[in-house]
Amino acid sequence: MQIHRDYPLKAHHTFGFDVKARYYAAPDTPEALHALLADPLYRKLPKLIIGGGSNLLFRADYEGLVIQPRFHAIDIVDEDDDSVTLCADAGVVWDEFVDYCVQHGWGGVENLSGIPGTAGAAPVQNIGAYGVEVKDVIYGVEALRIDSLQPVFFTREACMFGYRDSIFKHTAWKNNIVITRATFKLWKNSQPVTHYGALSAALHDCPTPTLAQVRQAVLAVRRQKLPDPAVAGNAGSFFKNPAVPCAKAHALAAAYPALTLYPANGEEVKVPAAWLIEQCGWKGKRVGQVGVHAPQPLVLVNYGGGTGNDVMQLAADIQQSVAAKFGIALEMEANVVN
């Protein structure tokens, strides 16, 4: 396996900033990954594990070893009349996995069509869209410890999934494991989840859609709202939808009757961050080489030649104006690397 020095990362993260890694390697087998982690030359270096680089913000060059697992087998490990359990290697392109499942008639991930990234990265931020989160279908996650080189298995409960959150973003695990495989349990006769606003509108003329029709509808909605990273660099939603106390949300709804709120838990309600950002006048606004995507203001964009610091400055300005107007703190969803 080749280990590259001063390697350009522009093509390996979806914001497309001109940054480099001191070292970069893309192991294409689990054995190559193990050997790389065991190599005394790189043992002490900081390490960054990336999938499709679709949720990362680099502020500068990465002064360590970037590892991008490339192994990409999909194996059926169990099957009965109702369900199938599948293992996907970390390097499986997420949307190819979804397509494979849809083509076989296995339901559960079709709403997650078109999300950039890999199967190994999907559990980290518990990817979600159109009423489904990947936690709903994850059976378990296999990983390799960087310190001891020992394998470790996380059951779905041990992953501690939350809204765009998991144990892999926290505690000691964040910098000490490489996810090697994820296991999913999918259903052979599932009922598609079509209640989410934009998706139910897209399927208006199709009351009993097949998995393939749901996938096509999701892809169409995404194309309308979300920028293609090949055209304008972005990391999907840059902020999370904030959860606020019910009383505050209801006061907002009374003041703004068009506002749609979403239940979070018993005591809190989610306010769409896109709406808050739009109300503060940011929708479609461009600042130099970066800006706020007009069809979905939750997405910050690099039009070309922008930097991570440009995006961070824009994000800080947005956070400040939302806090000043609504008293609500917007939390970043994208992962700031350095």
Q: Cβ 329 to ligand EPU, closest distance in Å? A: 14
> 164 an active-site residue?
yes
Q: Cβ 258 to ligand EPU, closest distance in Å? A: 8
55 and 335 in contact (C-beta within 8 Å)? yes
> 237 an active-site residue?
yes
Of 258 and 324, which has the nearer Cβ to ligand EPU?
Answer: 258
String of DSSP letters for 54-84: TTEE-SS-EEEEEE------EEEEEE-SSEE
Of 23 and 326, which has the nearer Cβ to ligand EPU?
Answer: 326
Buried b / exposed e across 108-138, counting CB within 10 Å, b at 16+? bbbbbbbbbbbbbbbbbbbbbbbebbbbbbb
Of 17 and 130, which has the nearer Cβ to ligand EPU?
Answer: 130
Among 70, 164, 181, 222, the active-site one is: 164
Tokens of 204: 């208006």
**Eight-class DSSP state of 13:** S
Whole-angstrom distance, CA of residue 30 vs CA of residue 283 = 44
Please write down the HEC assignment for all residues of 149-193: CCEEEEECCCCCCECCECHHHCCHHHHCEEEEEEEEEEECCCCCC
Where along the sequence are the contacts to ligand EPU (CB under 6 A)?
A: 129-130, 196-198, 225-226, 236-237, 240-241, 260, 272, 274-275, 278, 283, 296-298, 333
> 215 an active-site residue?
no
Q: Cβ 42 to ligand EPU, closest distance in Å? A: 31
Residues 6+ apart with CB under 8 A from 222: 113, 114, 129
Q: Cβ 56 to ligand EPU, closest distance in Å? A: 12
Of 27 and 53, which has the nearer Cβ to ligand EPU?
Answer: 53
- In three-state secondary structure terms, 245 is strand
User: Which residue in the shown chain puts its C-beta closest to ligand EPU?
Assistant: 236
Of 7 and 239, which has the nearer Cβ to ligand EPU?
Answer: 239
Q: Cβ 335 to ligand EPU, closest distance in Å? A: 12
List 151's β-bridge partners, or say none: 144
- Catalytic positions, written as ranges: 164, 237, 333
